[in-house]
Structure 1
Amino acid sequence: MPFEQFDRSRLRMLPLSQRVHDLDLSAILDPDTHKIGFRHPTIDLLSDRIIAAREKGAAVLMMMGAHVIRAGTAPYLLRLMEKGLITHFALNGAGSIHDFEFAEIGATTESVARYISEGQFGLWTEDAHHNEAVNQGAAEGLGFGEAIGKYIEENKFPYRQHSLCAGGYRMQVPVTVHVGVGCDIVHEHPNCDGAAIGKASYTDFLIYAKTVENLENGVFLNFGSAVIGPEVYLKALAMARNVARQEGRSINHFTTAVFDLHALEGLDINEAPPKTDARYYFRPWKTIMARTVADGGEGYYVQGNHGDTVPALAAKLLAAGKNFK
């Protein structure tokens, strides 16, 4: 039987000019002036592994949660993209929204506590442009990330130089977006098309899986994505290994690294904790650092804020002076 659905035409939308933003362009880090104080021995190891992977033509895939974009690290990511040091960037839906808002208005992030109480959380008129981008891109057969980047570039957003999605579109480097329907503020909007989101994000999943096919001797990095990152990676790796086995190949010898805030120092991260341990349910540990590298790979962990760890890794890589483009 048909169930009643929420009528989105009843929503009151307000312009972004009335929203109090927690972040503006002052949060964007300038690699030429930003002072890097973060140090971790694994950074040096990972830099060497990434350069070795690129010298072999293997994939270096960086998955990230939205806080990486909010930390203002896009200029560092764009430089890694320009040099061909990272071959694929992957975001969740929220990451693409922060990237989009920074490019369009030079600000992002609202107070959930304030605006959920007012019934206004996420209901800002200009964010409908994000849906327009996806709807148009899906109709053209584009993936989600490419659709966002194309829209930002073609509409000449004033701060597009800070956009990772726009950079990927310009440089033809995949920036894929992996969406959980109902998780993002733009899903509240009347112009949200679930079919377009599903089509575009699934196209990105297949692009992502194709990159994972080239992960042998490569590197997989996960910055702060606790659920989407490990789960998308796990399914894509299963697909890639299935085909590789049929072709007499293997995808076993690669490096993974998780960058997050959990205190895991001194623990054996290459062994998944038992189900009786609450840390078993921290997917990056069991999936990225243990199970998927158990057949010849290596997993590492770096604890720190993304505003510290991303610049530290990027600076080390860029200092090597390698260019793979």
Structure 2
Amino acid sequence: MAKFLSGLPDILAVKTLRCLAKSIVQARRKGRPVIFGLGAHPTKVGLNPIIVDLMRQDIVTALAVNGAVVIHDFELALMGHTSEEVEAEIDSGRFGMAEETGRMINEAITEGVEDGFGIGGAVGQYIFRRRKQFPNWKTSLLATGIQQNIPVTVHVAIGTDIIHMHPAADGKALGEGSLRDFRQLTAVVSQMEGGVYLNIGSAVLLPEVFLKTVTLSRNLGQSLTNITTANMDFLSHYRPLTNVVKRPTQKGGQGLSLTGHHEIMLPLLAAAIIEELRR
């Protein structure tokens, strides 16, 4: 991979890819956090093993995800496949009505929040403690977070996820768990001076959450003047470019943007990081 990467033309997006990889490696060598903010698409297209590998190598030190990531991560760990054909099910009212997904995840959230977890920790420990029932748990982001003691925070908007349609959904647990996760993510971001935040595939929710964690951290006295932020998606959207790339770095640091399909770009970035670590 080193030979392949060195052979890429040193221009435009290749320069950005190299800059991002170097920034991540520099951050970890200095003990600074590297946070991945994930929408559901990277998990749906099969990238969990690559992200888990970066977690196990102590490269990614925190994850922030939306509610859809939890569903796909859970189903992949349990069954080895996920998603459904919305067009085929929406007219009949069957879309999103899988009993096991709704019942088990809501059960995990309710029980875990009662035990003091946020949503990420609640579902992660549910999978990890019952890993004999989850044949693919080793590629679960949530379970890996528990095993590796890496924060995985979940940020939900009520009504956006299929599990909210299930009778077992508990608004109090969802709200309290998500608020705990927001505060935990803010604690991580507050230590991000010299670190990196990478938004991957979230067009609205996580860019909004990240911006609030930055302003709250600065309000509490953390300047965050030397940070690297980046957006990676296959379309260019307003909020990631504004709330991740531009606004948080206008005080200092650098904002980067990489446009391309996750199933191509993220493995390339992971390879570039690993090769950079070997230098």
TM-score, normalised to structure 1, is 0.79
The answer as to whether partners of 1:179 and 1:201 remain within 8 angstroms in 2 is yes
4+ residue runs over 4 A deviation = none
Q: Distance in 2 between matches of 1:288 and 1:231?
A: 8
Partner of 2:123: 148
Shift of 1:56: 1.8
The letter of the residue matching 1:297 is G
Alignment root-mean-square deviation, CA? 1.7
Write the deviation string for residues 3-26 of structure 1: whole angstroms up to 9, x where unpaired.
xxxxxxxxxxxxxxxxxxxxxxxx
Task: Provide the C-alpha distance between the structure 2 equivalents of 1:209 and 1:151, rounded to a whole number of angstroms.
Answer: 24
Letter in 2 for 1:139: E
Partner of 2:3: none
Name the structure 2 match of 1:289. 245
Corresponding residue for residue 242 of structure 1: 219
The residue aligned with 1:69 is 43
Q: How does 1:1-325 map to 2 (within 5 A)?
A: 40-127=14-101, 128-156=103-131, 157-244=134-221, 249-262=222-235, 282-321=238-277
The 8 Å contact of residues 62 and 89 in structure 1, kept in 2 or not, is answered as yes
Is the contact between residue 64 and residue 152 of structure 2 (CA under 8 Å) also seen in structure 1?
Answer: yes
| SS of residue matched to 2:65 | strand
What is the letter of the counterpart of residue 189 of structure 1?
Answer: H
Q: Is the contact made by 1:145 and 1:175 (CA closer than 8 Å) also made in structure 2?
A: yes
Q: Which amino acid aligns with 2:234?
A: L
Q: Which amino acid aligns with 1:209?
A: T
In 2, distance between residues paired with 1:40 and 1:198? Answer: 41
C-alpha distance in 2 between matches for 1:121 and 1:243:
44
Quick one: which amino acid aligns to residue 136 of structure 2?
Answer: Y
Match of residue 10 from structure 1: none
Q: Which amino acid aligns with 1:301?
A: S
In the superposition, the TM-score normalised over structure 2's length comes to 0.91
Instruction: Output one character per residue of 1:94-119: Cα deviation in whole Å (capped at 9) or x when no partner.
Output: 01100000001111001111111110
Alignment-mate amino acid for residue 62 of structure 2: H
1: CA distance, partners of 2:117 / 2:59: 24
Contact in 1 for aligned 2:189/2:213 (Cα 8 Å): yes
Q: Partner letter of residue 142 of structure 1?
A: F
Extract unaligned runs of 5+ from structure 1.
Answer: 1-37, 264-278
Of all paired residues, the percent bearing the same amino acid is 40
Amino acid at match of 2:195: G
Separation of aligned partners in 2, 1:304 and 1:106: 26
SS at match of 1:108: coil
Contact 1:40-1:302 within 8 A present in 2 as well: no
Deviation of 1:262 (Å): 2.4
Amino acid at match of 1:133: A
The equivalent of 1:4 in structure 2 is none
Is this contact kept in 1: 2:196–2:227, CA < 8 A?
yes
CA contact (8 A) 2:25 2:277 kept: no
Q: 1: distance between equivalents of 2:243 and 2:275?
A: 31
Which is higher, the Rg of structure 1 or of structure 2?
1
Counterpart contact for 2:37–2:206, Cα < 8 Å: yes
Aligned equivalents of 2:186, 2:137: Cα separation in 1 = 28
Cα deviation, 1:10-45, whole Å, max 9, x if unaligned, reads xxxxxxxxxxxxxxxxxxxxxxxxxxxx98331211
Structure with the larger helix share: 2
Residue by residue over 1:197-231, the C-alpha shift from the partner in whole angstroms, topping out at 9 and shown as x without a partner, is: 11111111111000110111111100111111110
